[in-house]
Amino acid sequence: MSHVLLLEPNTILAATYQAAFTAHGFTAVAVSGAQNGIHAIDARQPDVIVLELQLPSHNGVEFLHELRSYPEWHDIPVVVHTSLTPVQTESYVSILHDALGVRAVLYKHGTSLAELVNAVKAQLAMV
């Protein structure tokens, strides 16, 4: 059973995404911030990380820099699922892809649960 880690500051949305992944046979854990995200990966390495860039205290890009600084976590697939619009992420989407190993960037308010689950499944198929 594949394991998904969700970094989502809105706890209601996090529970909704968690339920969707569970319905599709995944195990999913949700945390609200970057620090808890690192602790959660330490506790159980996920097969895929779904990341909101707008996190409290440390933003998602800072989290990605820390994540990729650990060699053993270097290849964990990351799907960015963010409230930032494609226009807002346009300027640094190449950094996300090239330097930080992000496989997909989804606009949260325009992405259905089915599309999110499919994006995660696609990452797992690529591993």
- Does position 6 interact with other proteins (CB under 8 A)? The reply is no
H helix runs in 1-127, sequence order: 11-23, 34-43, 60-69, 86-89, 93-98, 113-126
CB of 73 to other proteins, least distance (A): 19
- Does position 118 interact with other proteins (CB under 8 A)? The reply is no
The residue range among 6-14, 66-74, 95-103, 119-127 that interacts with other proteins, by the rule CB under 8 A, is 6-14
- Does position 114 interact with other proteins (CB under 8 A)? The reply is yes
Nearest residue to 35 (alpha-carbon basis) of 58, 17, 52, 13: 58
CB of 6 to other proteins, least distance (A): 13
CA-to-CA distance for 84 and 67, rounded, in angstroms? 21
- Does position 27 interact with other proteins (CB under 8 A)? The reply is no
- The upper half-sphere exposure of residue 103, i.e. CA atoms within 13 Å in the direction of its Cβ, equals 19
| 121 Cβ contact list (under 8 Å, min separation 6) | 24
Query: φ and ψ at 4, to 5 degrees?
Result: -115, 135
- Does position 2 interact with other proteins (CB under 8 A)? The reply is no
Other beta carbons less than 10 A from residue 27's beta carbon: 15
Site string for other proteins, 70-99 (x = CB under 8 A): -------------xx---x-----------
- Does position 10 interact with other proteins (CB under 8 A)? The reply is yes
Judged by the rule CB under 8 A, the positions of this chain that interact with other proteins are 9-13, 16-17, 19-20, 23-25, 31-33, 35-36, 54-57, 59, 83-84, 88, 108-109, 112-114
